[in-house]
Amino acid sequence: MNGEPAADASIQRLSSITAGDVLKEIKVDDISREAHAVAEKYGYMPYMIERYFRMLGYEETLKLLESFEHFDKKPAILCNYLRSNCEAVVDKLNSLSFSLKRIEWCSYCYTVVVAPTSPSIGSTHEYLKGYYYVYRDKASLIAPLILNPGVGSLTLDMCAAPGGKAIHILLLMHDSGLLVANDISTRRATSLLSHFIRMGFKSYIVLNEDGIELVKKLRLKFDYILVDAPCSAEGSIMFDPSRKIKTSVKDLAKLVEREIKLLYAATTLVRNGGKIVYTTCSIAPEENEYVVTKVLQLNDKMSIKPPPFNYWSHGLSEYSSLEFDEDVKNCIRIWPHRHNMEGYFICLLSKTP
């Protein structure tokens, strides 16, 4: 079948993807003296700074690095409008000395502008009653909105824990149909389940599997799939400065190998006419445009679609010696220094009917 490999062929293709092959293509050569100097000043691996120079130029790279150093951290909340009245929740939080601002692109989502010393936003009675979910940053809200799963649909979240995006998906589905929420970590899957219970959802099952292995274990075809891939988290350095030095180029190649396999697995699990959102909290093109391009080469029934809305930057057409599929310009890039959010990549794909 053209572009639609059978299960056995899909498994064979997955096994043919290796970190060694990835490393040959993504390795960074000729790191400049300026990159070494800036890396030393800010505490990064030099290859990361060289990469930022090639994507953004010298001056904008400094703006990015300064934004990581001095980011104005403000949590966001997702109101559970199936269980509560969002205006009443906001009023109650205001009475507790919180100040909330509605997010312009999500009518039931709010930024916590001011918070009291006590209680914390994650320990109020309203939180414990499941009236809202707390994110460390509003960028996490975007991927489910772009996926926009329909009411009553069959949806898969391949890497679902800790659960914020899965909860958002269930809200968009109006807690109908079925969400298959999977995570490879038993501990994190348990946490995911506790959030579902706290917020009163019913239309889900929780799996504890390697997302790549779902190709072998599921014979379902999903209407919608979210692939929130484990990544280097280069977009969240403001929350975890250890990410400046955590991922070597070899480590990155292993992550990219897994990301390609996860997204490719999703393309075999989605039905004809179905949609996939691939997302990472990374600003590395190797984990984003490169991954999407590789998967489009593996399955020609997949195509990139423009998102239903985009207030942010577009995907990169090329980076260094890497050339990407021309349609990755329709993917979303969120830059901390441009958009005052955690760094993210979000791409909407569709399978040809």
Q: Which amino acids are annotated catalytic?
A: 281
Contact predicate 38/65, CB 8 Å:
yes
SS3 content of the chain, % helix, strand, coil (to 5): 45, 20, 35
CA distances for 148 relative to 41, 288, 311, angstroms: 42, 21, 17
- C-alpha triplet 214, 247, 322: angle, nearest 5°: 80
Q: 341: which 2 tokens?
A: 């959010």
Residue carrying structure tokens 């219970």: 197
335-338 contact pairs (CB < 8 A, 24+): 335/64, 335/283, 336/64, 336/67, 336/68, 336/71, 336/235, 336/238, 337/60, 337/63, 337/64, 337/66, 337/67, 338/312, 338/313
Per-position b or e across 195-208, b if 16+ CB within 10 A of its CB: bbebbebeebebbb
Residue 303: strand pairing partners: 350
- 139: amino acid identity, one letter: A
Q: 83: which 2 tokens?
A: 């269980």
Q: Assign 216 to helix, strand or coil.
A: helix
Contact predicate 151/174, CB 8 Å:
yes
Please name which of 285, 294, 300 lies closest in space to residue 331, comparing C-alpha atoms: 285
DSSP calls for 326-351: GGGGGSEEE-HHHHSS--EEEEEEEE
